[in-house]
């Protein structure tokens, strides 16, 4: 992070899930983050294997049970994901606001999930499939730090200034 922003800017991880990629929504979703003056400082495409999925969702089984973990793991491994590290002021909260509620049918219009999906918890349970909600976004600072470190080596993250930083901040 640039020196003058070190105390106020934060980084967060966003995953564009397999459903976002197969639907051709990656560019439209990334644009929403950039429109909100969030800076992409890391990006990669990865096919998650069972071991990496377990590392990413290390506590999901404990929190929500083995069935939820199994369905989520299968869903995340069905195709590649795009991992992004976004940086900006209040980046974690801003990203969560942009993506909307975990369950797309509860996400307001104007959010990624509200505009591009409609899947519900009930549909997930009835079908035995994961909630196709297009993106994963870190939930808090501790989670963001852990996830960014899992997905990216320090040298893979870039430091540069955007016009928004120069003229707005």
Q: How far apart are CA 94 and CA 38, in angstroms?
A: 9
Joined together, the tokens standing for residue 24 give 């051709």
118 is catalytic: no
15 - beta bridge partners? 83, 136
Contact 25, 113 (CB under 8 A): no
Q: How far apart are CA 50 and CA 72, in angstroms?
A: 11
User: Catalytic one among 17, 56, 113, 136?
Assistant: 136
Joined together, the tokens standing for residue 16 give 């564009």
Write out the catalytic residue numbers.
136
């Amino acid at each position: 992070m640039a020196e003058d922003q070190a105390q106020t800017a934060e980084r967060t991880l966003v995953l564009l899930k397999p459903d976002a990629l197969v639907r051709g929504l990656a560019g439209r979703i990334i644009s929403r983050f950039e429109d909100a003056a969030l800076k992409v400082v890391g990006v990669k495409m990865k096919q998650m294997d069972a071991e990496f999925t377990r590392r990413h969702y290390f506590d999901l089984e404990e929190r929500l049970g083995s069935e939820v973990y199994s369905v989520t793991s299968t869903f995340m491994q069905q195709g590649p994901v795009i991992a992004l590290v976004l940086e900006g002021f209040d980046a974690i909260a801003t990203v969560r606001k942009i993506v909307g509620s975990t369950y797309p049918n509860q996400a307001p219009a104007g959010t990624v999930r509200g505009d591009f999906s409609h899947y519900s918890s009930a549909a997930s349970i009835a079908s035995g499939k994961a909630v196709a909600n297009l993106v994963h976004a870190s939930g808090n600072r501790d989670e963001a730090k852990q996830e960014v470190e899992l997905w990216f080596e320090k040298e893979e993250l870039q430091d540069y200034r955007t016009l928004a930083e120069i003229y707005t901040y």
